[in-house]
Structure 1
């Protein structure tokens, strides 16, 4: 809280009613998203057990994020809003979403292994660079059944809609 004296810092931290109000920014981007999902899940489980921080009650005021961190923030916020109406707990919703998104099908597991292998191969030989932005052009050239399978955005949108009732948020 900067250079405020301890008494003023405590007042600005806890507010008038004794609630510690927190806002959480969730990082995105590969391993940062994985860390965010784990840390946020742990924080939410801790809050479910009795939301207190340094013996103060905690109120989450806002969640923000980028990329995968934005999905973490969305899932946590949605669960916080719907938990009293019988929805899943925030930590459970976050865990279930990332579990459902993980590579479990043979093609996802195989593709992950191939990409990890290619990344390790870069240490020894020069590999051609491929822009992720050219993938849509490649996907457009594939036959329709494979094209749909390669549509990661549609798969991700469908998975988010399975976990979040977007009309309920409107």
Structure 2
């Protein structure tokens, strides 16, 4: 385990950090469902670095939610506004999940397993998603994130904020990604970027249907290169670059 820095070492580190010249950077946020909460932690830490000036953010799926909430917070209250907005969003998501029927089963709890692998309801829902289209449910089963997004983001302030924003969703008709800029961002755009077709009906935007942006760009980097001045990009990944071992169970595969 690393040694805890002494007060003198900590003070010296803070002086060096404060003396750093400002650096313009971009952020690229990968999607990954509820694991996007880990990205919140990374962003919260990066906000401590006052030398880092965020010019733009590209996000997909859960990364799109984090990107939009971050940019909204920066527009409303700068660094502290972004920190508060991210915490508010994820606390609301967490509270909403409290009432979800998808919870760890007794076997998971006994084994210290934090996944839903042994939850009977989750297994049944996973099977149903393979057999039944969300369109078979009619208009039922709307995305609960919509209300949370509307509560947490002022989309008018977002559109005029200082941070450039790029959100990717996949056009169902063409299979190609569409990148939405900050003046185009609405709740529907964010929901489209996180729309898993086995769970939700496609989101209609400008007459076209859209699915999860992870199918076409997770996240999209092109606008950060072509439309931004920064030469440095922080890529915050959720999915590992490689996984040890060979998947063997049906769930792992």
Specify the TM-score bucket, using the shorter chain as the normaliser: 0.5 to 0.7
Which residue number corresponds to residue 20 of structure 1?
Answer: 23
| Matched ranges for 1:68-107 at <5 A | 68-83=62-77, 89-104=81-96, 107=99
Q: Scaled by the length of structure 1, what TM-score is found? A: 0.60
Q: 1:132: Cα distance to partner?
A: 6.5
Q: Larger C-alpha radius of gyration, 1 or 2?
A: 1
Q: Is the 8 A contact 1:37 1:69 kept in 2?
A: no
Which residue number corresponds to residue 9 of structure 1?
Answer: none
Which residue number corresponds to residue 103 of structure 2?
Answer: 112
SS of corresponding position for 1:131: helix
In structure 2, distance between residues paired with 1:99 and 1:151: 20
In structure 1, distance between residues paired with 2:84 and 2:34: 20
Gaps of 5+ in 2: 1-20, 109-113, 160-182, 184-253
In structure 1, distance between residues paired with 2:46 and 2:136: 41
Kindly indicate whether structure 1 or structure 2 has the higher relative contact order, using CA contacts under 8 Å at least 6 residues apart.
2
Q: Scaled by the length of structure 2, what TM-score is found? A: 0.43
Which residue number corresponds to residue 7 of structure 1?
Answer: none
Runs ≥4 in structure 1, deviation > 6 angstroms? none
Q: Which among 134, 137, 141 is matched to residue 136 of structure 1?
A: 134
Q: Which among 152, 163, 186 is matched to residue 163 of structure 1?
A: 152
Gaps of 5+ in 1: 1-17, 52-56
Q: Hey, which of these two has a bigger chunk of strand by percent?
A: 2
Q: Is the 8 A contact 2:70 2:86 kept in 1?
A: yes
| Matched ranges for 1:23-42 at <5 A | 23-30=26-33, 32-42=35-45
Q: Hey, which of these two has a bigger chunk of helix by percent?
A: 1
In the alignment of these two chains, the number of paired residues is 129
| Matched ranges for 1:33-72 at <5 A | 33-44=36-47, 46-47=48-49, 51=50, 57-72=51-66
In structure 1, distance between residues paired with 2:66 and 2:134: 26
Q: RMSD across aligned C-alpha pairs, in angstroms?
A: 3.5
